[in-house]
Amino acid sequence: MRKMKFESSDLSITEAVEKMFQALSNDLGIGVSEEKAGWRSLIDFGIEPSHQSELLRRSIVERNSRGQFRLNFRNSRIRQEFKKFNQQFEQLDCFLEDIEKLNEAQRILTQITEMLQSAPEYWTYIIALGWWRMLELSEFPAKIDDIFNEGFSPEDWMIKAPRCAFELALNIASKYGEIDGFKEALDSLERQGIHTSQSFVPLSLIGQDEVQKVMRVLKWEEIKEKLADFNVKMLGFLWTLYFVLQNENLLPSSAEFSLKLNQMMWNNAENIFGKKQQDLLSNLENTLKKLNERGIIWASDIVRLPEII
Protein backbone atom coordinates (compact mmCIF):
# COMPACT_ATOMS: atom_id res chain seq x y z
CA MET A 1 0.00 0.00 0.00
CA ARG A 2 1.39 3.41 -1.00
CA LYS A 3 1.82 5.85 1.89
CA MET A 4 1.69 9.64 1.77
CA LYS A 5 4.02 11.62 3.99
CA PHE A 6 2.73 14.91 5.30
CA GLU A 7 5.38 17.60 5.33
CA SER A 8 4.67 19.33 8.66
CA SER A 9 4.62 16.30 10.94
CA ASP A 10 5.92 13.45 8.76
CA LEU A 11 2.77 11.58 9.78
CA SER A 12 1.89 8.75 7.43
CA ILE A 13 -1.62 8.26 6.16
CA THR A 14 -1.73 4.96 8.04
CA GLU A 15 -1.16 6.79 11.31
CA ALA A 16 -3.79 9.36 10.36
CA VAL A 17 -6.29 6.57 9.69
CA GLU A 18 -5.56 5.18 13.15
CA LYS A 19 -6.50 8.55 14.64
CA MET A 20 -9.69 8.59 12.58
CA PHE A 21 -10.62 5.16 13.90
CA GLN A 22 -10.00 6.36 17.43
CA ALA A 23 -12.22 9.41 16.93
CA LEU A 24 -15.06 7.21 15.61
CA SER A 25 -14.71 4.67 18.42
CA ASN A 26 -14.56 7.34 21.11
CA ASP A 27 -17.70 9.05 19.86
CA LEU A 28 -19.69 5.89 19.27
CA GLY A 29 -18.64 4.53 22.66
CA ILE A 30 -20.19 7.50 24.49
CA GLY A 31 -23.43 7.28 22.53
CA VAL A 32 -22.88 9.76 19.68
CA SER A 33 -25.00 8.77 16.68
CA GLU A 34 -23.38 7.35 13.55
CA GLU A 35 -24.28 10.53 11.62
CA LYS A 36 -22.40 12.73 14.10
CA ALA A 37 -19.54 10.43 15.13
CA GLY A 38 -15.90 10.85 14.18
CA TRP A 39 -16.02 14.30 12.57
CA ARG A 40 -12.91 16.42 13.23
CA SER A 41 -10.73 19.00 11.52
CA LEU A 42 -7.83 17.62 9.50
CA ILE A 43 -5.46 19.20 12.03
CA ASP A 44 -6.99 16.97 14.74
CA PHE A 45 -5.80 13.99 12.69
CA GLY A 46 -2.33 15.52 12.24
CA ILE A 47 -2.97 16.31 8.58
CA GLU A 48 -2.29 19.64 6.91
CA PRO A 49 -5.29 21.19 5.08
CA SER A 50 -3.19 21.27 1.91
CA HIS A 51 -3.59 17.48 1.66
CA GLN A 52 -7.39 17.68 1.74
CA SER A 53 -7.86 17.28 -2.02
CA GLU A 54 -5.72 14.12 -2.17
CA LEU A 55 -7.59 12.50 0.72
CA LEU A 56 -10.94 13.31 -0.85
CA ARG A 57 -9.79 12.16 -4.29
CA ARG A 58 -8.81 8.78 -2.90
CA SER A 59 -12.11 8.65 -0.93
CA ILE A 60 -10.18 7.99 2.28
CA VAL A 61 -12.15 10.70 4.06
CA GLU A 62 -15.55 12.28 3.68
CA ARG A 63 -16.45 15.91 4.42
CA ASN A 64 -19.57 17.35 6.05
CA SER A 65 -21.27 20.72 5.59
CA ARG A 66 -19.24 22.20 8.45
CA GLY A 67 -15.96 21.46 6.72
CA GLN A 68 -15.07 18.61 9.08
CA PHE A 69 -13.67 15.25 8.01
CA ARG A 70 -13.82 11.63 9.07
CA LEU A 71 -12.77 8.22 7.79
CA ASN A 72 -14.95 7.03 4.91
CA PHE A 73 -15.55 3.75 6.76
CA ARG A 74 -18.60 2.71 4.73
CA ASN A 75 -16.55 2.60 1.52
CA SER A 76 -15.74 -1.06 0.71
CA ARG A 77 -12.75 -0.07 -1.43
CA ILE A 78 -11.18 1.71 1.56
CA ARG A 79 -11.63 -1.46 3.58
CA GLN A 80 -9.72 -3.37 0.94
CA GLU A 81 -6.95 -0.78 0.79
CA PHE A 82 -6.47 -0.69 4.55
CA LYS A 83 -6.68 -4.40 5.28
CA LYS A 84 -4.30 -4.04 8.20
CA PHE A 85 -7.18 -2.33 10.01
CA ASN A 86 -9.58 -5.27 9.61
CA GLN A 87 -9.89 -5.62 13.39
CA GLN A 88 -10.76 -1.94 13.79
CA PHE A 89 -13.32 -2.15 10.98
CA GLU A 90 -14.90 -5.19 12.66
CA GLN A 91 -15.01 -3.39 16.00
CA LEU A 92 -16.62 -0.42 14.29
CA ASP A 93 -19.22 -2.69 12.70
CA CYS A 94 -20.01 -4.18 16.13
CA PHE A 95 -20.41 -0.70 17.61
CA LEU A 96 -22.75 0.37 14.81
CA GLU A 97 -24.79 -2.82 15.13
CA ASP A 98 -25.00 -2.34 18.89
CA ILE A 99 -26.19 1.24 18.41
CA GLU A 100 -29.02 -0.01 16.21
CA LYS A 101 -29.87 -2.66 18.80
CA LEU A 102 -29.80 -0.10 21.58
CA ASN A 103 -32.12 2.26 19.71
CA GLU A 104 -34.63 -0.54 19.11
CA ALA A 105 -34.26 -1.72 22.71
CA GLN A 106 -35.06 1.81 23.91
CA ARG A 107 -38.20 1.84 21.78
CA ILE A 108 -39.37 -1.45 23.32
CA LEU A 109 -38.48 -0.33 26.85
CA THR A 110 -40.46 2.87 26.40
CA GLN A 111 -43.38 0.96 24.88
CA ILE A 112 -43.61 -1.52 27.77
CA THR A 113 -43.15 1.22 30.37
CA GLU A 114 -45.92 3.36 28.87
CA MET A 115 -48.16 0.31 28.55
CA LEU A 116 -47.82 -0.50 32.26
CA GLN A 117 -48.36 3.10 33.30
CA SER A 118 -51.49 3.53 31.18
CA ALA A 119 -52.91 0.00 31.62
CA PRO A 120 -51.84 -1.50 35.00
CA GLU A 121 -53.81 -4.67 34.26
CA TYR A 122 -50.93 -5.72 32.01
CA TRP A 123 -48.79 -6.31 35.09
CA THR A 124 -50.36 -9.77 35.37
CA TYR A 125 -48.90 -10.76 32.00
CA ILE A 126 -45.54 -9.08 32.59
CA ILE A 127 -45.14 -10.86 35.92
CA ALA A 128 -46.17 -14.21 34.44
CA LEU A 129 -43.71 -13.95 31.54
CA GLY A 130 -40.86 -12.47 33.54
CA TRP A 131 -41.11 -14.91 36.41
CA TRP A 132 -41.44 -17.82 33.99
CA ARG A 133 -38.21 -16.79 32.24
CA MET A 134 -36.41 -16.33 35.56
CA LEU A 135 -37.57 -19.69 36.90
CA GLU A 136 -37.02 -21.52 33.62
CA LEU A 137 -33.33 -20.58 33.75
CA SER A 138 -33.02 -21.69 37.38
CA GLU A 139 -31.49 -25.01 38.38
CA PHE A 140 -34.02 -25.22 41.24
CA PRO A 141 -31.59 -25.83 44.10
CA ALA A 142 -33.17 -27.22 47.25
CA LYS A 143 -32.37 -29.30 50.33
CA ILE A 144 -31.86 -32.93 49.44
CA ASP A 145 -33.82 -34.09 52.50
CA ASP A 146 -36.83 -32.01 51.44
CA ILE A 147 -36.59 -33.43 47.93
CA PHE A 148 -36.64 -37.00 49.31
CA ASN A 149 -39.41 -36.19 51.78
CA GLU A 150 -41.74 -35.24 48.93
CA GLY A 151 -41.03 -38.50 47.12
CA PHE A 152 -38.63 -37.18 44.48
CA SER A 153 -35.33 -38.76 43.59
CA PRO A 154 -32.60 -36.24 42.65
CA GLU A 155 -33.10 -37.26 39.01
CA ASP A 156 -36.87 -36.74 39.24
CA TRP A 157 -36.34 -33.35 40.81
CA MET A 158 -34.02 -32.17 38.03
CA ILE A 159 -36.66 -33.12 35.45
CA LYS A 160 -39.91 -32.21 37.17
CA ALA A 161 -39.04 -29.03 39.06
CA PRO A 162 -38.15 -26.99 35.92
CA ARG A 163 -41.39 -28.14 34.31
CA CYS A 164 -43.23 -26.29 37.05
CA ALA A 165 -41.69 -22.95 36.08
CA PHE A 166 -44.75 -21.48 34.41
CA GLU A 167 -47.12 -22.90 37.04
CA LEU A 168 -45.06 -21.16 39.70
CA ALA A 169 -45.03 -17.96 37.64
CA LEU A 170 -48.82 -18.16 37.29
CA ASN A 171 -49.06 -18.69 41.03
CA ILE A 172 -47.27 -15.38 41.54
CA ALA A 173 -49.05 -13.50 38.73
CA SER A 174 -52.57 -14.58 39.74
CA LYS A 175 -52.33 -12.27 42.74
CA TYR A 176 -52.44 -9.33 40.33
CA GLY A 177 -55.17 -10.46 37.94
CA GLU A 178 -56.67 -13.33 35.99
CA ILE A 179 -54.58 -15.19 33.43
CA ASP A 180 -55.35 -18.48 31.74
CA GLY A 181 -52.00 -19.51 30.36
CA PHE A 182 -48.71 -18.82 28.69
CA LYS A 183 -50.12 -17.98 25.25
CA GLU A 184 -52.43 -15.37 26.74
CA ALA A 185 -49.40 -13.62 28.23
CA LEU A 186 -47.54 -13.65 24.88
CA ASP A 187 -50.63 -12.49 23.00
CA SER A 188 -51.04 -9.58 25.41
CA LEU A 189 -47.67 -8.20 24.32
CA GLU A 190 -48.31 -8.91 20.64
CA ARG A 191 -51.48 -6.82 20.84
CA GLN A 192 -49.33 -3.92 22.01
CA GLY A 193 -46.93 -4.36 19.08
CA ILE A 194 -44.25 -6.00 21.23
CA HIS A 195 -43.14 -9.05 19.28
CA THR A 196 -42.30 -12.35 20.91
CA SER A 197 -41.68 -15.71 19.33
CA GLN A 198 -44.78 -17.88 19.59
CA SER A 199 -42.45 -20.88 19.39
CA PHE A 200 -41.50 -20.25 23.01
CA VAL A 201 -43.63 -22.58 25.12
CA PRO A 202 -43.10 -23.95 28.61
CA LEU A 203 -41.91 -27.50 29.04
CA SER A 204 -44.67 -30.08 29.36
CA LEU A 205 -46.51 -29.35 32.56
CA ILE A 206 -46.96 -31.93 35.26
CA GLY A 207 -49.95 -32.60 37.49
CA GLN A 208 -51.02 -30.15 40.16
CA ASP A 209 -50.13 -32.62 42.89
CA GLU A 210 -46.53 -32.60 41.65
CA VAL A 211 -46.58 -28.80 41.43
CA GLN A 212 -47.69 -28.62 45.05
CA LYS A 213 -44.85 -30.94 46.06
CA VAL A 214 -42.33 -28.72 44.25
CA MET A 215 -43.77 -25.68 45.99
CA ARG A 216 -43.39 -27.35 49.38
CA VAL A 217 -39.79 -28.31 48.69
CA LEU A 218 -38.95 -24.74 47.65
CA LYS A 219 -40.91 -23.22 50.57
CA TRP A 220 -42.68 -21.25 47.85
CA GLU A 221 -45.35 -19.69 50.03
CA GLU A 222 -42.73 -18.34 52.42
CA ILE A 223 -40.78 -16.85 49.51
CA LYS A 224 -43.96 -15.22 48.15
CA GLU A 225 -44.91 -13.87 51.55
CA LYS A 226 -41.59 -12.08 52.05
CA LEU A 227 -41.43 -10.42 48.61
CA ALA A 228 -42.91 -6.92 48.44
CA ASP A 229 -45.21 -6.14 45.50
CA PHE A 230 -42.68 -3.84 43.87
CA ASN A 231 -40.04 -6.60 44.08
CA VAL A 232 -42.37 -9.04 42.35
CA LYS A 233 -43.14 -6.45 39.67
CA MET A 234 -39.53 -5.34 39.28
CA LEU A 235 -38.37 -8.90 38.65
CA GLY A 236 -41.23 -9.51 36.24
CA PHE A 237 -40.48 -6.27 34.41
CA LEU A 238 -36.71 -6.80 34.08
CA TRP A 239 -36.97 -10.48 33.11
CA THR A 240 -39.70 -9.78 30.54
CA LEU A 241 -37.49 -7.10 29.00
CA TYR A 242 -34.60 -9.53 28.95
CA PHE A 243 -36.80 -12.21 27.35
CA VAL A 244 -38.12 -9.88 24.63
CA LEU A 245 -34.73 -8.33 23.84
CA GLN A 246 -33.00 -11.71 23.73
CA ASN A 247 -35.75 -13.12 21.54
CA GLU A 248 -35.41 -10.17 19.14
CA ASN A 249 -31.58 -10.47 19.14
CA LEU A 250 -31.27 -7.00 20.67
CA LEU A 251 -28.77 -7.76 23.44
CA PRO A 252 -25.52 -5.89 22.62
CA SER A 253 -22.31 -7.80 21.97
CA SER A 254 -19.92 -5.22 23.45
CA ALA A 255 -19.40 -4.50 27.14
CA GLU A 256 -19.79 -0.75 26.57
CA PHE A 257 -23.25 -1.07 25.10
CA SER A 258 -24.32 -3.77 27.56
CA LEU A 259 -23.67 -1.23 30.30
CA LYS A 260 -25.74 1.32 28.41
CA LEU A 261 -28.62 -1.15 28.08
CA ASN A 262 -28.28 -1.96 31.77
CA GLN A 263 -28.68 1.70 32.65
CA MET A 264 -31.59 2.14 30.24
CA MET A 265 -33.44 -0.74 31.89
CA TRP A 266 -32.85 0.65 35.37
CA ASN A 267 -33.90 4.15 34.28
CA ASN A 268 -37.22 2.71 33.17
CA ALA A 269 -37.56 0.68 36.38
CA GLU A 270 -36.92 3.82 38.47
CA ASN A 271 -39.51 5.68 36.40
CA ILE A 272 -42.13 2.97 37.00
CA PHE A 273 -41.57 2.36 40.70
CA GLY A 274 -40.57 5.84 41.81
CA LYS A 275 -37.54 4.40 43.59
CA LYS A 276 -33.82 4.64 42.93
CA GLN A 277 -31.97 1.62 41.60
CA GLN A 278 -29.99 1.25 44.82
CA ASP A 279 -33.16 1.28 46.91
CA LEU A 280 -34.77 -1.38 44.71
CA LEU A 281 -31.68 -3.56 44.91
CA SER A 282 -31.21 -3.06 48.65
CA ASN A 283 -34.80 -4.05 49.39
CA LEU A 284 -34.52 -7.22 47.32
CA GLU A 285 -31.19 -8.10 48.93
CA ASN A 286 -32.62 -7.57 52.43
CA THR A 287 -35.59 -9.79 51.60
CA LEU A 288 -33.34 -12.57 50.34
CA LYS A 289 -31.17 -12.18 53.43
CA LYS A 290 -34.23 -12.71 55.67
CA LEU A 291 -35.16 -15.83 53.70
CA ASN A 292 -31.62 -17.09 54.07
CA GLU A 293 -31.82 -16.57 57.83
CA ARG A 294 -34.97 -18.71 57.85
CA GLY A 295 -33.06 -21.53 56.18
CA ILE A 296 -34.29 -20.88 52.63
CA ILE A 297 -30.76 -20.46 51.40
CA TRP A 298 -31.62 -21.32 47.81
CA ALA A 299 -33.97 -18.33 47.38
CA SER A 300 -31.20 -16.10 46.00
CA ASP A 301 -30.43 -18.72 43.32
CA ILE A 302 -34.06 -18.70 42.18
CA VAL A 303 -35.14 -15.10 42.74
CA ARG A 304 -32.47 -13.12 40.94
CA LEU A 305 -31.82 -10.48 38.30
CA PRO A 306 -31.05 -11.21 34.63
CA GLU A 307 -27.33 -11.52 33.89
CA ILE A 308 -27.26 -8.29 31.91
CA ILE A 309 -28.40 -6.47 35.06
What pLDDT score was predicted for residue 180?
Answer: 82
Locate all alpha helices (DSSP H) within 49-181, ordered by sequence. Answer: 52-57, 76-81, 86-118, 123-136, 144-149, 154-160, 165-173
Mean pLDDT computed over 63-81: 92
Q: What would the pLDDT profile of 179-217 be if each residue is shown by its tens digit? A: 888 888 888 888 888 877 655 566 556 788 999 999 999
272 touches 204 (CB < 8 A) = no
What pLDDT score was predicted for residue 5?
Answer: 45
Mean pLDDT computed over 75-79: 90
pTM for this one? 0.85
Mean pLDDT computed over 218-242: 96
Q: How many CB atoms lie within 10 A of CB 6?
A: 19
Determine the Cα angle at 198 with ends 193 and 203, to 5°. Answer: 140
Write b or e for each residue in 241-279: b if 16 or more Cβ atoms lie within 10 A of its Cβ, otherwise e.
bbbbbeebebbbeeeebbebbeebbbebbeebbeeebee
Domain ranges of the chain: 13-81, 98-302
Q: What would the pLDDT profile of 167-180 be if each residue is shown by its tens digit? A: 999 999 999 999 88
pLDDT at 100 over 50: yes
C-alpha torsion sign, points 210, 208, 227, 121: positive
What pLDDT score was predicted for residue 48?
Answer: 80
Of residues 114 and 203, which shows the higher confidence score?
114
pLDDT at 285 over 80: yes
Closest CA to 16 of 80, 89, 82: 82
What pLDDT score was predicted for residue 198?
Answer: 55
